[in-house]
Amino acid sequence: MDSQHLNFSSAVSREEVQTTERFENPLPRAVLRPNNHILLDGEWRFCLDPNDSGMRERWFLGRDYEHIAIWPGSIEAHMAEAKGQQQATGWQDKVIAWYEREFELPARTEPLHRTMIQLTFGACGYETRVWLNGHPLQTIEGEEVHYGEYTSFSYELGEECLQPMNRLTVRIADTMDAEIPRGKQESHVYKRGGIWYHTYTGAIRSVWLETVERNRLRSRVGVVSVVEDQLVRFNLTTRIHDPGLYTLRLHVYERDSDDLLATSDFPLRLQAGQKQQRVVIEVPGAELWSPESPHLYRLVAQLIDSSGYPAQIESHFGLRKIEARGCCVYLNNTSIYLDGILYQPGTATFEEMKRHMQAMKELGCNLVRVHIAGVDPRIYNLADEMGMLLWVEVPSPHSSSHRSRENHRAELLRMLALIETHPSVVIWSLYNEDWGAQDIAVNAETRQYIIDLYHYMLINHPQFLVVDNDGWHHISLEGRLKSDLLTAHLYTPDPDRWRDLLDRLVAGQLEGVAAFPLVVGDPFFYRRQVPLLVSEWGGFGFADYGGPNDPENRAERIRQFKQELRNRSIAGDVYTQATNIEDEQNGLIDPHTGELSVPAGLLASGKIPAK
């Protein structure tokens, strides 16, 4: 097993003089920790459990596995390899797989009363159970079974369970259950084909061991800035095993230098367990983050115990403010037109996603709508650095029920905990086209759930704009829209029909424009009091949407349609879509190379290329 380390060891990172030393991020996470890590990617023993007998037969105590699988990788790909097939095969209703490997106990330079070993899965699921040497593990949140497949989760490995050589066993289960967050993966409700994709589940991101402090800051940082007062509000999470007095120390630097811009100490009396703490620090003369000038700062945060021992994390951040004010979207108190594109990464690798992001920038986009999918967190870092606004969405369930809403809320909270660091993330969608909320027009309980979630986001995460249900069926209560944006999905390949739809939309016609009425609930009267976005359009090349297939005519049609959008009082638009994926062959970017099939700048406002 190869050991991969960050740029400095646990021992060196203790020294105060080293807190400004830069290090790279080889792991799928946004917040860094300057400690040793060991990547557990590579060969794992693997077998399927079609009869769900592994728990009854206690496979976690020891078993001979028939196959080898490469982690990370999907269960579908591992099934195909086990059967000697070239292509990943699907499954119906339920799949259960077991993985196992050994690892040596990592060497530690710090005493055991200060540090412990932590195991982290970058993403895995939908249901994950883990055993260490036959002992069941619980996540830091106390879960025996971790639910979800889009975000990371961690285990603290107790010294009593560790041995010089250790056996790690993982059981992963998933189903076609329509009540769990699925995004565009097939389910019992939506079958594969058209816009619905093959399942892609299981061991989909890296897994690693690292040395962490017993009393520390977790690797999650929330950032809320108010640009007028140059104050930054940081939401930090403490993890404590030894109650007592601690000092939370923040240092703010320029992103690529050691020039200290601001520092502050906050004394805390902390009990055992986990809690969130908001602190505020002033950054005098701070520059703002924007797509034109993506200025970033570096935060070094330390939790220091009574003996002076520091536990450290590092993150970058940017100061920016996003608002929906009247008919326009404002970034840093200046109106901005959102030139967007719909992005569905599918099974793209991290390197391919980086090429996609660069290509979308080349197209002239300042916004990428990451469509109901989980992505490698380093993509958010890349967007921060390159100045790309992001619109993220909760992967939706496919049926509306009390249980599906519970699962939906849990997924949202998991995503928020890890994504609220980034200045690039400006918009969140709770639902898309009422997938998982199909009764939104007739069920007051469904509407109330979305209203409550919208209000929760306004209070707890004011740094984002929030869309209740993107595309149609927005919710009105007492004539007030429970969405920061009024969005519509308009698909037609016909230029005359396109002009007519746009005219009716900006005139405030809420019915007969999109596939369903734009607003449900109490009557809502549009008078330009909320920004209007066409958040999906085009799709040229996909059979269901029509339009030209060849690149030259497609580019011309996009140019015409984009000009019509910019001639009207619309705050932004999102072209469908960036790359081809399965049946949806309507992309503008090669999914592997990142090359454009249309002229650069085609989607840029004010820079629409001449014929």
Q: What is the DSSP letter of 451?
A: H
Q: What local confidence, expressed as pLDDT, does residue 493 receive?
A: 95
Q: What local confidence, expressed as pLDDT, does residue 30 receive?
A: 85
HSE at residue 331, side-chain half, CA atoms within 13 A, is 26
Name which of 573, 582, 581 is nearest 602 in CA terms: 573
Q: What is the mean pLDDT of residues 92-110?
A: 91
HSE at residue 542, side-chain half, CA atoms within 13 A, is 24
The answer to whether residue 3 scores a pLDDT higher than 80 is no
Q: What local confidence, expressed as pLDDT, does residue 24 receive?
A: 54
Q: What is the mean pLDDT of residues 360-370?
A: 98
Q: What local confidence, expressed as pLDDT, does residue 347 receive?
A: 87
Q: What local confidence, expressed as pLDDT, does residue 394 receive?
A: 96
Instruction: Give the span between the Cα atoms of 448 and 454, in whole angstroms.
Output: 10
Name which of 255, 335, 249 is nearest 290 in CA terms: 335
Taking each helix axis from N to C end, the angle separating 402-419 and 444-460, rounded to the nearest 10 degrees, works out to: 20
The answer to whether residue 107 scores a pLDDT higher than 70 is yes
Report residue 363: phi and psi, to 5°.
-65, -15
Helix, strand, coil percentages (3-state) for the chain, rounded to 5, are 15, 35, 45
pLDDT, the chain, mean: 92
The answer to whether residue 519 scores a pLDDT higher than 80 is yes
The answer to whether residue 367 scores a pLDDT higher than 60 is yes
Q: What local confidence, expressed as pLDDT, does residue 246 receive?
A: 98
Instruction: Give the span between the Cα atoms of 35 and 13, in whole angstroms.
Output: 7
Q: What local confidence, expressed as pLDDT, does residue 110 receive?
A: 82
Q: Which residue has the higher pLDDT, 13 or 326?
A: 326
The answer to whether residue 609 scores a pLDDT higher than 50 is no
Q: What local confidence, expressed as pLDDT, does residue 7 receive?
A: 26
Q: What local confidence, expressed as pLDDT, does residue 112 receive?
A: 85
Instruction: Give the span between the Cα atoms of 115 and 194, in whole angstroms.
Output: 51
Q: Are 365 and 604 in contact (CB under 8 A)?
A: yes
Instruction: Give the predicted TM-score (pTM) of the model.
Output: 0.93
Q: What local confidence, expressed as pLDDT, does residue 558 receive?
A: 96
The answer to whether residue 5 scores a pLDDT higher than 60 is no
Q: What local confidence, expressed as pLDDT, does residue 366 receive?
A: 98
CA distances from 208 to 245, 385, 505 (A): 31, 25, 50
Instruction: Give the span between the Cα atoms of 55 and 172, in whole angstroms.
Output: 12
Q: In the structure encoding, which two tokens stand for residue 10, read together? A: 């646990």
Q: What is the mean pLDDT of residues 223-233?
A: 91
pLDDT band at 143 (very low <50, low <70, confident <90, very high): very high
Q: Are 13 and 108 in contact (CB under 8 A)?
A: no
Q: Are 47 and 97 in contact (CB under 8 A)?
A: yes
List domains and CATH numbers for the chain. 31-213 (2.60.120.260), 216-317 (2.60.40.10), 322-589 (3.20.20.80)
Q: What is the mean pLDDT of residues 541-570?
A: 93
- The pairing of beta strand 425-432 with beta strand 389-393: parallel
pLDDT band at 111 (very low <50, low <70, confident <90, very high): confident
Q: Which residue has the higher pLDDT, 19 or 359?
A: 359
Instruction: Give the span between the Cα atoms of 10 and 15, in whole angstroms.
Output: 10
Q: What is the mean pLDDT of residues 526-544?
A: 95
Report residue 71: phi and psi, to 5°.
-100, 135
Instruction: Give the span between the Cα atoms of 218 and 115, in whole angstroms.
Output: 14
Vertex 487: Cα angle to 374 and 180 (nearest 5):
35
Instruction: Give the span between the Cα atoms of 353 and 591, in whole angstroms.
Output: 8
Q: What local confidence, expressed as pLDDT, does residue 88 receive?
A: 65
Q: What local confidence, expressed as pLDDT, does residue 374 receive?
A: 87
Q: In the structure encoding, which two tokens stand for residue 53, read together? A: 């007998």
| pLDDT above 70 coverage of the chain, percent | 94
ω into 72 cis (within 30 of 0): yes
Q: What is the pLDDT of residues 199-221, one digit of tens each?
A: 889 999 999 999 999 999 999 99
Q: Which amino acid appears at position 265 of this protein?
A: D
Q: Are 335 and 329 in contact (CB under 8 A)?
A: yes
Q: What is the pLDDT of residues 389-419, one digit of tens each?
A: 999 999 999 999 999 999 999 999 999 999 9
Q: What is the CA radius of gyration of the chain?
A: 25
HSE at residue 550, side-chain half, CA atoms within 13 A, is 2
Question: At 251, which helix (H) or strand (E)?
Answer: strand 244-254
ω into 577 cis (within 30 of 0): yes
Question: At 403, which helix (H) or strand (E)?
Answer: helix 402-419
Count of beta carbons in the 10 Å neighbourhood of residue 403: 13
| Contact residues for 53 (Cβ-Cβ < 8 A; gap 6+) | none
Q: What local confidence, expressed as pLDDT, does residue 608 receive?
A: 41
Name which of 102, 103, 97 is nearest 67 in CA terms: 97
Q: What local confidence, expressed as pLDDT, does residue 4 receive?
A: 40
Instruction: Give the span between the Cα atoms of 216 and 219, in whole angstroms.
Output: 9
Q: What local confidence, expressed as pLDDT, does residue 113 receive?
A: 87
Q: What is the pLDDT of residues 575-598, one digit of tens each?
A: 999 999 999 999 999 999 999 999
